[in-house]
């Protein structure tokens, strides 16, 4: 029953959102086309349900081939690979909005584990990979809410970003996604959707831990 109602909610909200957001999509697409490197969308392979690959839609915010430049797959605050207009899109989260198309197609849901590229997905243990990939990934999720300031965290790392990500961020993200696997429900999803909007405006808010008192404790490396 939950899966049926979840898909209905996905289609209902994403269809309405697509229509409402067209006045944003159109000017953003035009600006991107005539600034930066002229790319409007960025397509990237991500891990979906049952660990299958799919292409995620995003507005282009970084230099082409950015994964082979600078800090590679990890993006820190004030990363020099981020285009000027792309910086605004990332801070406002507008760059994520084209994923509404992925929801309509059925690749992702409104709420679920954050879809990762294979390289970061494989940083999880085999057991955690199995648990996380048993759920359809989401446009947002408890991991996305808690790590809304991930770029800020990475910008403060003094050392190897990949090592920090593997030893501190990945274990905590795994705990968060496993928590969601146990707690997911229609009400839980509604709370996460609300928190997603809330933390855009109040980045340092502790509200997620007040609404979900049993959330896994923060990894000391990402305080």
- 8 Å CB contact between 44 and 57: no
Instruction: Report how far residue 32's alpha carbon sits from residue 156's, in angstroms, rounded to the nearest whole number.
Output: 29
Question: CA nearest 117: which of 46, 221, 66?
Answer: 46
How would you class 16 by CB atoms within 10 Å of its CB: exposed for 0-12, middle for 13-18, buried for 19 or more? exposed
Residue 159 pLDDT grade (very low, low, confident, very high; cuts 50, 70, 90): confident
Question: What pLDDT, in 10s, does the model give residues 97-151?
Answer: 999 999 999 999 999 999 998 989 999 999 999 999 999 999 999 999 998 887 7
Residue 48 pLDDT grade (very low, low, confident, very high; cuts 50, 70, 90): very high
Half-sphere exposure at residue 98, Cβ-oriented, CA atoms within 13 angstroms: 19
Pairing of strands 53-59, 41-47: antiparallel
Question: CA nearest 115: which of 14, 205, 43, 220?
Answer: 43
Identify the bridge partners of residue 138 per DSSP, sorted by sequence position: 109
Pairing of strands 138-140, 109-111: parallel
User: What's the pLDDT at 200?
Assistant: 85
| pLDDT above 90 for 35 | no
Instruction: Report how far residue 160's alpha carbon sits from residue 189's, in angstroms, rounded to the nearest whole number.
Output: 35
Q: Which pTM does this prediction carry?
A: 0.82
What's the gap between Cα 105 and its chain centre?
18
| pLDDT above 70 for 43 | yes
Which stretch of 49-53, 60-64, 141-145, 190-194 has the lowest confidence by average pLDDT? 60-64
Instruction: Report how far residue 156's alpha carbon sits from residue 80's, in angstroms, rounded to the nearest whole number.
Output: 15
SS (H, E, C) the chain: CHHHHHHHHHHHHHHHHHHHHHHHHHHHHHHHHCCCCCCCEEEEEEECHHHCEEEEEEECCECCCHHHCCCCCCCCCCCCCECHHHHHHHHHCHHHCCHHHHHHHCCCEEECCCCCCHHHHCCCCHHHHHHHCCCCCEEECHHHHHCCCHHHHHHCCCCCHHHHHHHHHHHHHHHHHHHHHHHCCHHHHHHHHHHHHHHHHCCCCCHHHHHCCCCCCCCHHHC
């Amino acid at each position: 029953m939950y899966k049926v109602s979840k898909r209905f909610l996905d289609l209902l909200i994403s269809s309405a959102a697509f229509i409402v957001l067209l006045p944003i999509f159109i000017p953003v697409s035009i600006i991107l086309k005539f600034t930066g490197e002229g790319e409007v969308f960025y397509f990237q392979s991500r891990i979906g349900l049952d660990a299958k690959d799919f292409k995620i839609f995003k507005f282009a915010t970084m230099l082409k081939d950015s994964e082979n430049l600078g800090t590679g797959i990890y993006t820190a605050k004030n990363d020099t690979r981020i285009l000027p207009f792309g910086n605004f899109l990332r801070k406002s989260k507008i760059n994520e909005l084209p994923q509404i198309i992925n929801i309509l197609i059925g690749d992702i849901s409104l709420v679920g584990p954050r879809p990762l590229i294979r390289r970061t997905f494989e940083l999880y243990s085999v057991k955690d990979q199995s648990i996380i990939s048993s759920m359809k990934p989401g446009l947002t999720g408890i991991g996305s809410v808690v790590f809304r300031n991930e770029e800020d965290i990475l910008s403060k790392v003094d050392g190897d970003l990949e090592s920090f990500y593997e030893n501190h961020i990945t274990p905590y993200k795994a705990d968060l996604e496993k928590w969601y696997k146990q707690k997911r429900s229609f009400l839980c999803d509604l709370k996460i959707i609300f928190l997603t909007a809330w933390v855009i405006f109040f980045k340092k808010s502790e509200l997620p831990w007040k609404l979900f008192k049993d959330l896994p404790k923060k990894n000391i490396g990402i305080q």
